[in-house]
Structure 1
Amino acid sequence: MSQVLANYEEQLANAKMPAGKKKVLITSLKLFANNGFHATTTAKIAKEAGVSEGTIYKYFSSKDDLLAKLLQPILMEIKNNFFSNLDDKTDLPSLIKFIVTDRIHFIEVNFDFIRLIFQEILTGQLTDKSYQDFFSGNDGIFAKLKEFQVNFPEINSVLTPPQITRIFIGPILTYVLQNKLLGLPVNNDDLELIQKQIIANLTFKY
């Protein structure tokens, strides 16, 4: 299991909540990550957790509600992990290289759950609050990108945080999707190209 999910599982284990609810959340986390949301029934969750299906519906109105309750804190865990160890990068090329190489690995390791999150956003299962906090909260992605913009003045000051997000996400996500979903060949030259593309778009004077 990836570090993000392992960290969250530890948080759940130490959380103050009814034992039955904790068992359901921890078991659901493992089953959704390993088998996928749609292949995991509430009956299987109940059996693996050693509780009745009634216990699941005591705390969650539906399997979708259970997933949403799991995903919201996982979004925060992913955000915090994704932006860790970036403060020691003193120049923009080093920062971009680290994000492209190390964070692509991070996305690939956590891909099953990240894909699940995207699916739930597209199908409307995640509430607006869930992903608004992820992007626009006080410690969200946009706030962190604004800090980068201040720390690296060569980044075009006209760019907004959503625009910077697209500059990063576009080539990185396309690379990962080609590799993980389509099985298209990728190599180190692709990573170097992505780094150049991101730097060029961040520093281009519009």
Structure 2
Amino acid sequence: MTQVLANYEEQLANAKMPAGKKKVLTTALKLFANNGFHATTTAKIAKQAGVSEGTIYKYFSSKDDLLAKLLQPILIEIKNNFFSNLDDQADLPTLVKFVVTDRINFIEANFDFIRLIFQEVLTGQLTKKSYQDFFANNVEILAKFNTYPEINSKLTSPQIARIFIGPILVYVLQNKLLGLPVNDDDLDIIQKQILANLTLKY
């Protein structure tokens, strides 16, 4: 089982960059996630981070640039950490289990970041190119499934993506946003649902 992406704040803590820049990035992530990109001013970020507003513009050319810098390390980690482990899965049930467990752990560990991405996509604050790059990283997984004959050959890549994303996203939103109870066997049920839908003939 691959080690899932560390919490973003932990990653920043270990990064080689000035302390002021770390404070700005960590604070911006929290404020963007909680209040939205548009409603968060650089003045508010500076005040909560305990730095001057000039410090923000020392490291970032604009608020859009700050958001782009928040996205960049996550995209790199997704590429290097998650996809490098797909080939280690011997069969389709094992692969599905890996994807479900890894993606749920990833989303839960980085929920502020994921919420920020969805907020900005929905409100149009995040540029089309930015979120295309973000989600394009996850599309690579679909090529792996073409090697399994059990999968319904009629399924398109977007359909396979929905089969995975639907139950995983609902599980996390139920738990992290709504605070509704989750059961110990929920992950097993999600894996069985995905397998059933991937192999269903129609």
Asked whether the two chains share a fold, i.e. TM above 0.5, the reply is: yes
SS, match of residue 29 in structure 1 = helix
Structure 1, unaligned stretches of length 5 or more?
none
Partner of 2:85 in structure 1?
85
Is contact 2:175–2:182 with CA below 8 Å preserved after alignment?
A: yes
| Matching residue within 2, 6, 9 for 1:3 | 6
Partner of 1:187 in structure 2?
183
Q: 1:183 to 1:46 in 2, by over 3 A?
A: closer
Larger RCO, structures 1/2 (Cα 8 Å, 6+ apart): 2
Is contact 2:164–2:194 with CA below 8 Å preserved after alignment?
A: yes
Q: How does 1:15-94 map to 2 (within 5 A)?
A: 23-24=20-21, 26-37=22-33, 38=35, 41-46=41-46, 52-57=52-57, 60=60, 62-94=62-94
Offset of residue 195 of structure 1: 0.8
Offset of residue 61 of structure 1: 5.7
RMSD: 3.0
Partner Cα separation in structure 1 for residue 123 and residue 72 of structure 2: 15
Offset of residue 184 of structure 1: 1.2
Offset of residue 7 of structure 1: 3.8
Identity across matched positions, percent: 68
Pairs aligned (count): 193
TM (normalized to structure 1)? 0.76
Partner Cα separation in structure 2 for residue 4 and residue 77 of structure 1: 11
Q: How does 1:106-145 map to 2 (within 5 A)?
A: 106-136=106-136, 140-145=137-142
Partner Cα separation in structure 2 for residue 156 and residue 121 of structure 1: 31
Alpha-carbon deviations, 1:49-92, whole Å to 9, x = none? 67542353466564344223422442343454443433211011
Q: 1:161 to 1:41 in 2, by over 3 A?
A: same
Partner amino acid for 2:160? I
Alpha-carbon deviations, 1:162-199, whole Å to 9, x = none? 22111100001001101111111111222222111101
Partner Cα separation in structure 2 for residue 8 and residue 202 of structure 1: 38
Is contact 1:46–1:56 with CA below 8 Å preserved after alignment?
A: yes
Partner Cα separation in structure 2 for residue 143 and residue 99 of structure 1: 12
Q: How does 1:123-202 map to 2 (within 5 A)?
A: 123-136=123-136, 140-146=137-143, 148-202=144-198
Partner Cα separation in structure 2 for residue 203 and residue 141 of structure 1: 21
TM (normalized to structure 2)? 0.77
Partner Cα separation in structure 1 for residue 77 and residue 44 of structure 2: 26
Is contact 1:27–1:48 with CA below 8 Å preserved after alignment?
A: no
